[in-house]
């Protein structure tokens, strides 16, 4: 992506595209997004399906982005966790068909729905301290909604549906 010696120029993105299928096969997938030595941000786009048993954890520094897209369900049995800072679009749910997760989705940063029904109806949506979920006028159905404020000053949690509808099938 430009730059000198393989490093992106200041302010550019380093991108990773995960287009093929991923089978967790009893392992966890950890994706860490950080600024590189040239103060450039990192981004990952996951369009391939994720299957098997295991958890997916995404950790992102300010200005870094993870996006789930693609047309098929992720069927992995485990938790999808996002831990991000406070700046910019961090975690984008943008699947054109199918669900990003069938299990628990933990949001500990900024998360944006770019399309409706991004998580399976039997999923648990958990927004933790500092987590912000923006449905951006999209509809979503979840089994349970959990919002946990860790008690730190100025962090809190936020769920903003815009003009969309959030249906909780069981408990809040």
Q: What is the pLDDT confidence band of residue 141, given thresholds at 50, 70 and 90?
A: very high
Q: Is the pLDDT of residue 47 over 50?
A: yes
Q: What is the pTM of this model?
A: 0.88
Q: What is the pLDDT of residue 38?
A: 62
Give 162's strand partners: none
Q: What is the pLDDT of residue 41?
A: 75
Q: What is the pLDDT of residue 64?
A: 87
Question: Cα separation of 84 and 90, whole Å?
Answer: 7
16-30, 70-84, 108-122, 152-166: the lowest-pLDDT one: 152-166
Q: For residues 132 and 106, is the Cβ–Cβ distance under 8 A?
A: no
Average pLDDT, the chain: 88
Residues 76-85: b if buried by 16+ CB within 10 A, e if exposed: bebbbbbbbb
Q: Is the pLDDT of residue 4 over 50?
A: no
Q: What is the pLDDT confidence band of residue 33, given thresholds at 50, 70 and 90?
A: confident
Q: For residues 118 and 142, is the Cβ–Cβ distance under 8 A?
A: no
3-state SS, 103-132, equals CEEEEECEEEECCCCCECCCCEEEECCCCE
Q: What is the pLDDT of residue 96?
A: 94
Q: What is the pLDDT of residue 129?
A: 82
Q: What is the pLDDT of residue 5?
A: 42
Q: For residues 67 and 92, is the Cβ–Cβ distance under 8 A?
A: yes
11-20, 23-32, 77-86: the lowest-pLDDT one: 11-20
Among residues 120, 146, 152, the alpha carbon closest in space to that of 133 is found at 146
């Amino acid at each position: 992506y430009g730059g000198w010696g393989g490093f992106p120029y200041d302010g550019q993105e380093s991108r990773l595209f995960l287009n093929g299928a991923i089978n967790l096969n009893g392992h966890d997938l950890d994706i860490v997004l950080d600024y590189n030595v040239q103060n450039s941000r990192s981004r990952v786009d996951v369009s391939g399906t994720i299957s098997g048993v295991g958890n997916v954890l995404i950790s992102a520094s300010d200005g870094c982005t993870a996006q789930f897209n693609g047309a098929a369900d992720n069927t992995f049995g485990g938790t999808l966790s996002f831990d991000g800072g406070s700046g910019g679009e961090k975690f984008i749910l943008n699947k054109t068909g199918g669900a990003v997760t069938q299990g628990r989705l933990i949001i500990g940063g900024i998360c944006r729905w770019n399309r409706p029904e991004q998580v399976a109806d039997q999923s648990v949506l958990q927004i933790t301290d500092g987590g912000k979920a923006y449905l951006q006028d999209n509809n979503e159905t979840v089994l349970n909604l959990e919002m946990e404020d860790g008690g730190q000053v100025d962090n809190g949690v936020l769920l903003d549906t815009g003009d969309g509808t959030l249906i909780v099938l069981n408990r809040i």
